[in-house]
Amino acid sequence: MLDLERQYKPLRQELLEALAGVLDSRQFILGGAVADFETAAAAQLGVAHAIGCSSGTDALWLALAAARIGADARVITTPFSFFASVSSILRAGATPVLADIDPVTFNLSPAAVESVLDTLHGASVRAILPVHLYGQVSFGSGREFGLPIIEDAAQAWGAGWQGKRAGGLGDIAAFSFYPTKNLSAAGDAGMVSTNSAELAERARMLRQHGMRRRYFHDELGWNTRMDGFQGAILKVKLKHIEGWNEARRTAAARYQALFTATGVAEPGTYPERGVVLPKEVPGAYHVWHQYVIRAPRRDALRDFLTARQIGSEVYYPVPLHMQDALRHLGYREGDFPEAERAAREVLALPIFPEIREDEQQAVVAAIAEFCS
């Protein structure tokens, strides 16, 4: 699925020098390396503020807490995402309210959001948390709903919508730098971005146990600071991410051409005998964190690929409303048919900046053989 060595080798010396700089400075928590990364990251995203933290999950919680989303608040989000999209809402003390996905993008459906708001009459809904799944922006700013937008941009560094980048589309956003992400750390790390000075100040305060002054705690925050080593690594990689994202886009286009040439690509929304390819919707700039097809016999196809030593992954096999840990939310199977069908059909294929054409040809040839 991913070969991190191909990315690491050409950067090895530069990364080691960056780590040595942190050792020499002895600023292991936050410090100059993190501050430098935050400044460069904000500039690249076109936002006023970037706040480094310890993980993408903590970034989601920080974004919610900074926006004062807590008890008695409802937050609309998707049932088709990583667990943290919902668990962070619960951790903030709020209640997740789920809306179904668009079957083409797998992202939160604006029509479904509108339906939920109509059903609830807007009661206690304080925010919408769209997830930019697989590297494509969920929908624009969402201002038409008249609610704060908290972007889950964990998979979407560099993604855009009508010329504006993820991280600056809503009121506040959360990024993950988990090692498999497009922009990745050497461990766990995350970031909050916003154009609001007030939200940024609160996020900085909350990531250090609610301190504005050392040992004076204004609120109950948390220890969610970024390590200096991660800041140093991310600052180095930040210089390369735009090129890497373009390489992913090239790889995605190559998959499109290869699949089309085999005749197994089907034009509809749902697969019948072949596969349905992912689409970049008009107005979006997709950064292809994952290249996800739909297949009618997904599990059998995955076993077929594994037997041929071809990596694949399912993101995600169980929708959030069907997770045992979230049964208390009161949803049941059948409540979100698009998310449930996607969970049965989606399959992520290998994609990363350094993937070779012959490797992609092998993937497509194996899938074509399975479908024949």
Query: Are 167 and 269 contained in the same domain?
Result: no
Number of structural domains, the chain?
2
Range of the domain at 341: 242-371
Q: Are residues 330 and 249 in the same domain?
A: yes
Q: Which residues pair with 165 in a beta bridge?
A: 160
* Last residue within a domain, chosen from 225, 240, 255: 240
Distances (CA, A) of 220 to 69, 71, 202, 217, 362: 14, 14, 12, 7, 53
Coil, strand or helix at 108:
strand
| Beta-strand pair 291-294/346-349 | antiparallel
Q: How many Å apart are CA 365 and CA 207, to the nearest integer? A: 48
Residue 303 has what pLDDT? Answer: 98
Q: Which residues of 134-158 are buried (b: 16+ CB within 10 A; e: fewer)?
A: bbbbbbbbbeebebbbbbbbbbbbb
User: What pLDDT score was predicted for residue 141?
Assistant: 62
The predicted pLDDT at position 132 comes to 97
> 35: exposed, middle or buried (C-beta count within 10 Å: 0-12, 13-18, 19+)?
middle
Q: Choose one of 224, 240, 256: the last residue of a domain.
A: 240
Residue 350: which CATH number? 3.90.1150.10
pLDDT single digits (tens) 168-182? 999 999 999 999 999
Query: What is the domain-level CATH number for residue 182?
Result: 3.40.640.10
Mean pLDDT by 10 residues, the chain (372 residues): 93 97 95 97 98 98 97 95 97 97 96 93 90 91 84 97 94 97 97 98 96 93 96 98 98 97 95 96 96 97 97 97 96 97 98 97 98 91
Give 187: exposed, middle or buried? Use CB within 10 Å, 0-12, 13-18, 19+.
middle
Which tokens sit at 342? 């996607």
Residue 144 sits in the same domain as residue 73? yes
Do 320 and 355 share a structural domain?
yes
186 and 267 belong to one structural domain: no
C-beta atoms surrounding 324 within 10 Å: 6
| Judgement on whether residues 147 and 227 belong to the same structural domain of the protein | yes
> What's residue 140's pLDDT?
65
Place of tokens 């080798």: 9
